[in-house]
Structure 1
Amino acid sequence: MQYGLNAVWQQGDVVARAIMLLLILMSMLSWGVIFYKGMELLRLKRRATIAERDFWLAGSLAEAQASLGSPGSGNPHLDLVEAAQEAYRGPQSEEMMAPDEWLHRCLGIALDEHLARLASGLGVLASIGSTAPFIGLFGTVWGIYHALMAISAAGQSSLSQVAGPVGESLVMTAFGLFVAIPAVLGYNTIARNNRGVAHKLHRFRHELHSFFVRGERGRASKGTNIAPSSRPGISIMIQPGI
């Protein structure tokens, strides 16, 4: 008698095979999300370290912006800087609300988009981690039911006749746990690292807001103003009418 997943596949009916294929698909999907989000978080952490180290030490805003790298959906620090600059290019914003409030709103929108992108994929891991054990359990119940029906039809009820089919059916429960455990661990690890990245982005947004607000205050008294930052190195020039 053969044992293992191969025996479950060969002896199972359409429902049992569909459950196995579903669990295999869920496992591939969860591992794909884990690897993708893991690489994304490593890239964001490295970029956050570079931004905190190089951005505020640059000699000008252009140099500081260039230190953040090329634009793209995966560059939240550069998007925040561009959002702050766009807030100052819209004169209609000053008619609706105070400049610092408009700047805070623009930075908040840009940050929220990246935080939502950080959270993408976590719903998949949460769903797989919570449903995979029950799908495997359903496969076990289905297999045991058909095994007992076959034994009853054969008229044999010895332990040797029951142990094999029932044991094969229990493999489905183990398979469901094998799929669910990495998904749950991956979800917790990614969520914890997301909170760390989000904290750094919130801090960078707050520093940008304070920096650009200083430039706005200086513009009121002079036509052209160079406002020093609280950190050494960087300065910003704000032209009138921009």
Structure 2
Amino acid sequence: MPYHVTPTFIIDATLYTLLAFSVATWTIIFFKIWQFIKNNYFNQRFNQAFWDAPSLEQAKTLPTDIVRGPQARIALQGFTWMDESQQSAGKSLKYRGVPAELLEHSLLVQMQKEQHGMESGLTLLASIGSTAPFVGLFGTVLGIMHAMHEITASGSTSLDVVAGPIGDALVATAIGIAVAVPAVLAYNFFLRRAKKQRADLENFVVSFTHIASSINANGKE
């Protein structure tokens, strides 16, 4: 260890690192709660309005305050692809192939973007949950080493002298565990919510593709 870096400095740095982990964890938790509540609200509103529309053409003209959220953006991508494919039929390789499969691919690409947004921050939660206990343990080990040096220098091995410094050193491990538990619980919870939303979006993609394919096959709605 360099002579200018004291054990106390490293222990304090460990505790500040854990504090930063805790702040990041709770920031992500509150943001993800807001994000999932908002997405669920917008998806429910759009889903009801979309399926209540008498035709696909009228579903394209839903009010802008309803066309919000992941499901609405997927539908908008589908409408955009259908319009562009009709205008560029036979003029671009992008629109050559089975229309239903090309449309489904376009919808799935947009769905993957929405899924990426829903899963943003979860990797950081998982990383904090897995590393925070080890960071705390690192601080504890250094704290115990520092305490042992001080005890040796004092020349006393009584319980009063030993228990205090070692007890202070163990605080780092306790803080590390306290930081890791919310991160792990939040990661598991939000991961389940993201999977549920992905399943809902996949169902919408299948339904949208089916409707668009039936319209193309019949030539009308």
Q: TM-score, normalised by structure 2?
A: 0.88
The 1:62/1:43 distance shift into structure 2, 3 A limit, reads: farther
Paired residues for 1:9-20 under 5 Å: 13-20=8-15
Partner residue of 2:153?
A: 153
Question: Is the counterpart of residue 84 in structure 1 residue 74 in structure 2?
Answer: no
Residue of structure 2 aligned with 1:25, choices 20, 29, 32: 20
Following TM superposition, by how much is the alpha carbon of 1:53 offset from its aligned partner in structure 2, in angstroms? 2.1
Distance of 1:192 and 1:128 partners within structure 2: 18
Partner residue of 2:3?
A: none
Partner residue of 1:118?
A: 118
Partner residue of 2:48?
A: 53
Distance of 2:97 and 2:214 partners within structure 1: 17
Q: Deviations over 1:109-157 (max 9, x none)?
A: 1111111111111100000000000000110110010001001011111
Residue of structure 2 aligned with 1:64, choices 59, 64, 67: 59
Q: Does the Cα contact within 8 Å between 1:68 and 1:77 map onto a contact in 2?
A: no
Looking at secondary structure, tell me which structure has more helix per residue.
2
Paired residues for 1:1-242 under 5 Å: 13-61=8-56, 63-65=58-60, 66=62, 69=65, 75-88=69-82, 89-90=84-85, 91=89, 92=92, 96-219=96-219, 225=220, 227=221
Which amino acid in the other structure matches residue 149 of structure 1?
H
Q: Deviations over 1:169-226 (max 9, x none)?
A: 111111001110000000011011111111111111111111111111122xxxxx2x
Q: Deviations over 1:36-80 (max 9, x none)?
A: 0111111111222223322111234455342573666xx211221
The 1:136/1:186 distance shift into structure 2, 3 A limit, reads: same
Unaligned runs of 5+ in 2: 1-5
Distance of 1:68 and 1:30 partners within structure 2: 34
The 1:63/1:12 distance shift into structure 2, 3 A limit, reads: farther
Q: TM-score, normalised by structure 1?
A: 0.81
Distance of 1:166 and 1:32 partners within structure 2: 32
Distance of 2:152 and 2:167 partners within structure 1: 17
Unaligned runs of 5+ in 1: 1-10, 220-224, 228-242
Distance of 1:172 and 1:13 partners within structure 2: 12
Q: Does the Cα contact within 8 Å between 2:42 and 2:66 map onto a contact in 1?
A: no
